[in-house]
Amino acid sequence: MVSSVPYDSFAPNPNTPDGKTLLGPAKGTVPRGFKPLHLASGPEEAARAGRELKNPYPASPEVLARGQVAFQRYCTPCHGSGGLGDGLVTARFPMPPSLLGEHAKGLPDGQIFHIITHGQGLMPAHGSQVAPEDRWKLVHYIRTLQNPARTARKDVP
Ligand code: HEC
């Protein structure tokens, strides 16, 4: 009982190819329901994302409301609640460009998705915090900020 016969999960193991008892998933394994994104970081890949990716969600009120919640959670500290680039941290962190400017307006949806996923310049990557579906909903919400004629819920704090 004190010293068990089998190898402990995290004990070294001379019988396995990598010397570890607990084997990793086989190469290329994808968790059920997970859609791998074949996008690397960098401006070329951002441009490719802009050409190749389409927003899979319609701009429904539910999608916009979720985009607004995600924006307020993850983006307002830097970009400000209206997307003008005047978030609270800009007292100490360089001010980001306005998301309402001509440059951001001209970015294709897929490129914005890529910027959120991998970051750009001083903006950190948000791929690990923000789920892919929320990133697409954020794109819709940004379009609403850029074009207020599109409706957004006003009752989400
Ligand atoms: C830590 C601060 C910070 C956070 C948080 C942040 N950003 Fe940014 N963002 C920046 C900065 C700084 C830039 C300018 C990057 C550069 O150097 O090109 C930027 C650039 C962008 C751009 C490109 C704008 C353009 O005209 O090129 C988009 C789109 C964008 N951010 C969206 C978002 C979204 C959506 C979120 C929330 C998921 C977010 N950002 C969170 C700081 C931030």
Per-residue pLDDT of 50-96, as tens digits, reads: 999 999 999 999 999 999 999 999 999 999 999 999 999 998 989 99
Per-residue pLDDT, 11: 93
Domains assigned to the chain? 43-146 (1.10.760.10)
Ligand 1 pocket, 49 CB below 6 A?
no
Ligand 1 pocket, 43 CB below 6 A?
no
Q: Hey, whose CA ends up nearest to atom 24 of ligand 1?
A: 104
User: 8: CA distance to ligand 1 center in Å?
Assistant: 45
Q: Hey, whose CA ends up nearest to atom 34 of ligand 1?
A: 75
Reply yes or no on whether the pLDDT at 8 is more than 60. Answer: yes
Higher pLDDT, 27 or 117: 117
- Neighbour-count burial for 31-58, b at 16+ CB within 10 Å, e otherwise: eeeeeeeebeeeeebbebbbeebebebe
Amino acid at residue number 93: F
Reply yes or no on whether the pLDDT at 155 is more than 80. Answer: no
Per-residue pLDDT, 83: 97
Higher pLDDT, 2 or 58: 58
